[in-house]
Structure 1
């Protein structure tokens, strides 16, 4: 019997879907964060259940061959990089295995590895340089013990800020922005938001960088209507950013107003202080204008590879009708439009649809049509109203973490497209929906795994399914976006906005 607060020596044998090492004490499974298969460790039990326990790492007695020294000093305490202590090749192998196991266990696919592409030796497609890859960061702001401003990230499962001066997975220009914002708050005595009291001004700092354009956005999320001395803040950020290098263009300085007592980072209203309301970047040859609220993939290098694979799986020949479900600002829609006859996008967020329409105009793409609403309501409604127009040759679905609504899956089955491409960052809900689709005349044909979130547990997957009853001309692609999690039940409870 494993007892709470007892210290044990344990050998880690496996790794779970949330990145915890798994070992056994007296036959009981024990999950331990920050450990790897092959580690021998001293651990303290922090929670004990029937046949299952959770431990805290106290000391590594003998390190695993997969273990490496994190580049970040606060990697263990920060809630961002849960796998930075794991060798990068081992991370790619772990994520490939994770998708394989969930497809087999939940999706009912008997030998998924036979359908899975591999970068090499059963690994996910990875980055050449797995650091400084994120084009978007959101830093909560708080005080240290001396009452000085700090920016950082929340510790895992808490709202306690781990202060930092840089982040090794974000664009390196963030180091200079963090320094300027902290100095500004301290110099001008700007108040910082207190979650419990619902008082104070500065809540978060959001940054975006166009990796192809070098355009920079800084957006201050505030509990108010304006920032005192904001011209000085712009001046201080500009001065610090200039130290990084002349290639960065500080194009957009904004505020986002969030006066709600909520854990949601962004409010619904943004205002330009200096510059433009957006920055621009590219995916392939398609240009996108990106606002503070825009959903845009955070890893530009891997996104191009992922979308190229989705386009390959869609196998467009030029005349197909394509549905892009949960289309966001139209990233996948516009990426596919060059190869399709017509593309129809649907997204629940009105501002995202406005962005999608503007991005279509920006690229002079005219064979796209966007609709506002829930995909599970809009698509069946339009399909029943005009089947000839809205029957899909290719379908693109990109839903939130909970996956596809069953009503939408029923409509896809009724549409009976020939190919279905499913892009997912939650392999458990992906596997669940594959099970439904393969029970309704679809067959899983191809799987590709991408390391979209290096040093984290999340993984992006692109799959192709074939409709066994479809006419030869039909193609269906479904793109699904969700994050990695321990179980479907937990995922549905923790559903968040993309």
Structure 2
């Protein structure tokens, strides 16, 4: 039995299978995710899942560069070779349109693509983020500083070709499977990209984190704010707050809202103290003399770790948990001794098995 033909030629030609579920109709993908979520996490009420656009939803692209200076490929690496994906259907249209000028930029600037098999060359990847207005942050991930001058001297040309608001270089000197290194060098435009969602003012610095599906993120924040309004807490902690989306969505003049995030860059983008603090969320929480009316956590995939035990032993009554890994969320909830009163799936990552889920927990 032949595999269904999809809208993606790369998938059909077996040149990219990153979208593992692409051959499955989207409504079936969503119902399967919902069924799996309900199986993993028990909740008194599961709301209907929030569907994404099927294509054009990704606001960020990590574009692996391979090939040669004169004929670079922009996409992924398969079997040690570069596979061009300039027509990938997942990306925001501003990112798709940028592929052509970025390809020409590599040649104009004489950039040498990094060869994974040989461990030679300079340009490893280009990370491009699009904001809701179609403006771009462009980051060149290099092995060394050697080609920074030629990148800097050609960025004016690139800015005339694409709506680039932020341009920078990231240094990743070692041969490791990481998206970026610790050192970021600002070269062009502002130092932050405006990621505001309507009245919700959000800023993103080059090394900060923002959810990859802008429209689903908009609904996620609005839903969290509506659930918070139902209990109308006076004080809220937003731990692992990133650029402050949940905290800002829930902030009212009558509330004391504090966001804590390990990434100093994210905290700077969020607006800094007094509302946002840089530090280890678990350690900060343990140092406080009081607890909030509502605790919001949006941890990495591994979950909140030993903070679950701290919550169990505290007097916190209500937790809003945003999870990209329901297995770790369910484990944390069991340790905390909490019950999921309500949960909802937000399909942040169509055509994959990944999910984002918002869970309203009480003791």
TM-score (norm 1): 0.67
CA distance 1:462–1:430, change in 2 (3 Å): same
The answer on whether the counterparts of 1:177 and 1:237 sit within 8 Å (CA) in structure 2 is no
Q: Distance in 1 between the 2:253 and 2:279 partners? A: 24
- Secondary structure of the 1:315 match is helix
Q: Distance in 2 between the 1:454 and 1:425 partners? A: 13
Q: Distance in 1 between the 2:77 and 2:116 partners? A: 13
**Number of the residue aligned with 2:73:** 150
- Secondary structure of the 1:150 match is strand
CA distance 1:340–1:328, change in 2 (3 Å): farther
Q: Distance in 2 between the 1:393 and 1:159 partners? A: 52
Q: Distance in 1 between the 2:218 and 2:110 partners? A: 43
The answer on whether the counterparts of 2:301 and 2:328 sit within 8 Å (CA) in structure 1 is yes
Q: Distance in 2 between the 1:204 and 1:160 partners? A: 14
1:258 aligns with 2:183: no
Q: Distance in 1 between the 2:254 and 2:88 partners? A: 40
Q: Quick one: which of 428, 436, 446 aligns to 2:327? A: 428
Quote the offset at 1:184 in angstroms.
3.1
RCO comparison, higher one (Cα < 8 Å, 6+): 2
1:140 aligns with 2:64: yes
**Number of the residue aligned with 1:401:** 301
Q: Distance in 1 between the 2:107 and 2:296 partners? A: 48
CA distance 1:161–1:184, change in 2 (3 Å): same
Moved more, 409-418 or 129-138: 409-418
Q: Quick one: which of 449, 456, 475 aligns to 2:352? A: 456
Q: Quick one: which of 222, 229, 234 aligns to 1:308? A: 222
CA distance 1:176–1:429, change in 2 (3 Å): same
Quote the offset at 1:431 in angstroms.
1.8
CA distance 1:450–1:371, change in 2 (3 Å): same
Q: Distance in 2 between the 1:197 and 1:355 partners? A: 38
CA distance 1:450–1:259, change in 2 (3 Å): same
Quote the offset at 1:335 in angstroms.
1.7
1:370 aligns with 2:274: no
Show structure 1 runs of 5+ residues with no match. 1-40, 42-59, 104-108, 119-123, 242-248, 361-365, 468-498
1:74 aligns with 2:4: no
Q: Distance in 2 between the 1:172 and 1:233 partners? A: 23
Show structure 2 runs of 5+ residues with no match. none
Quote the offset at 1:353 in angstroms.
2.2
What whole-Å deviation, never above 9, does each CA across 1:33-90 have from its counterpart, x for those lacking one?
Answer: xxxxxxxx4xxxxxxxxxxxxxxxxxx2xx6xxx5x3222113542531111111111
Q: Distance in 1 between the 2:207 and 2:253 partners? A: 28
Q: Distance in 2 between the 1:215 and 1:339 partners? A: 31
Moved more, 87-96 or 268-277: 268-277
Superposition RMSD in Å: 2.5
What whole-Å deviation, never above 9, does each CA across 1:200-230 have from its counterpart, x for those lacking one?
Answer: 111111111111x332221111112243533
Quote the offset at 1:350 in angstroms.
2.3
The answer on whether the counterparts of 1:135 and 1:170 sit within 8 Å (CA) in structure 2 is yes
Q: Distance in 2 between the 1:272 and 1:237 partners? A: 15
**Number of the residue aligned with 1:348:** 262
Quote the offset at 1:163 in angstroms.
1.6
1:95 aligns with 2:37: no
**Number of the residue aligned with 1:473:** none
TM-score (norm 2): 0.90
CA distance 1:198–1:286, change in 2 (3 Å): same
CA distance 1:451–1:234, change in 2 (3 Å): same
Q: Distance in 1 between the 2:156 and 2:259 partners? A: 41
- Secondary structure of the 1:303 match is helix
CA distance 1:414–1:341, change in 2 (3 Å): farther
**Number of the residue aligned with 2:90:** 169
Aligned length: 360
**Number of the residue aligned with 2:138:** 218
1:272 aligns with 2:272: no
Q: Quick one: which of 291, 300, 314 aligns to 1:391? A: 291
- Secondary structure of the 2:320 match is strand
